[in-house]
């Protein structure tokens, strides 16, 4: 009997270690994505600078980097609150420090979402190319290959643009085929939808964490919140699938990691709720 108990305890320990390792591996990969997005957007910025280098332009150009960095910090804060720091210690300076950093992250996330909207607005308007693309080869013009992907206009690629080439009027000296322009529009719109859905997710989690600290989430309200979460997470999963189909691997990879990361946060919250129930702080 003792051997069976020891075996069960050992299995649980291995399971907890695997769970914890998988969780922090996901968190580490998301942190790495900050650098990958910065590298990608830095290359894109060389072709897409259109309104100077003021703060709003930089936020628009580096919206994915800013968004991912803020989300990583926010994710770690949720991890601290829901799985690391005991409830009795989430008071005083610790509580206010976490709240202060969370407010800064929230502001960065909203700014990044506004940047996504700005990027989407770039692809609302286009105009016919001012001349045959091959007549514009002078080192000034760029070609939009896809959303956030550009190359310099050259004698080799100008022919492929054809007579139907468009000028992206929201950017400086950028041409595109109608297909590339339409694809960029769709990807930019998905960014807006995805960013907005994540903001709603974090609002729901924030409400849930605050109610947990006050004794728990009322049963009927919990069902309502769970219903909203299902809709939001489904939207986020569809966005990830769309990026995968479109061949935008970094966005697909990042979106999939974030979904896994928030599964861990949701499991943390669920375990926290069960703990409160077992202590009699929440009615079953």
Please check whether residue 9 lies inside any domain of the structure: no
Percent of the chain with pLDDT over 90: 30
pLDDT tier for residue 282 given thresholds of 50, 70 and 90? very low
pTM of the shown model: 0.76
DSSP per-residue codes, 96-149:
HHHHHHHHHHHHHHHHHHHHHHHHHHHTT--EE-SS-GGGGTTTT-EEEEETTE
Are 261 and 135 part of one and the same domain? no
Range of the domain at 117: 16-122+183-278
Q: How many structural domains does the chain have?
A: 2
Q: In this predicted structure, what is the pLDDT of residue 18?
A: 78
Are 188 and 165 part of one and the same domain? no
End-to-end CA distance of the chain: 32
At 73-127, the pLDDT tens digits run: 988 888 888 778 876 787 788 888 888 888 898 888 888 888 889 889 999 999 9
Please check whether residue 98 lies inside any domain of the structure: yes
Q: Is the pLDDT of residue 284 over 60?
A: no
Are 265 and 146 part of one and the same domain? no
At 215-274, the pLDDT tens digits run: 666 667 778 888 999 999 999 999 999 999 987 788 899 899 999 888 888 887 777 767
| Mean pLDDT, residues 189-194 | 94
Query: 62 vs 123, which has greater pLDDT?
Result: 123
Please check whether residue 86 lies inside any domain of the structure: yes
């Amino acid at each position: 009997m003792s051997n069976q108990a020891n075996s069960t305890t050992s299995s649980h320990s291995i399971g907890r270690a695997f769970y914890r390792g998988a969780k922090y591996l996901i968190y580490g990969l998301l942190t790495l994505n900050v650098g990958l997005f910065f590298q990608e957007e830095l290359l894109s910025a060389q072709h897409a600078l259109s309104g100077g280098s003021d703060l709003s332009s930089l936020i628009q150009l580096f919206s994915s980097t800013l968004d991912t960095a803020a989300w990583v910090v926010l994710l770690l804060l949720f991890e601290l609150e829901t799985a690391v720091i005991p409830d009795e210690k989430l008071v005083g300076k610790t509580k206010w420090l976490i709240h202060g950093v969370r407010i800064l992250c929230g502001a960065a996330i909203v700014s990044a979402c506004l940047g996504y909207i700005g990027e989407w607005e770039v692809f609302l308007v286009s105009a016919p190319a001012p001349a045959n693309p091959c007549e514009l080869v002078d080192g000034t013009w760029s070609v939009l290959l896809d959303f956030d992907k550009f190359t310099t206009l050259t004698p080799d690629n100008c022919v492929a643009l054809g007579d139907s080439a468009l000028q992206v009027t929201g950017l400086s000296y950028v041409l595109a085929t109608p297909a590339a322009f339409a694809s960029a529009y769709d990807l930019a719109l998905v960014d807006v939808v995805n960013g907005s859905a994540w903001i709603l997710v974090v609002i729901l989690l924030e409400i849930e964490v605050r109610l947990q600290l006050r004794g728990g989430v009322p049963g009927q309200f919990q069902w309502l919140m769970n219903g909203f979460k299902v809709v939001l997470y489904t939207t986020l999963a569809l966005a990830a699938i769309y990026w995968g189909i479109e061949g935008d691997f970094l966005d697909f990879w990042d979106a999939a990691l974030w979904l896994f990361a928030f599964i861990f946060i949701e499991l943390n919250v669920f375990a926290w709720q069960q703990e409160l129930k077992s202590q009699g702080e929440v009615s079953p």
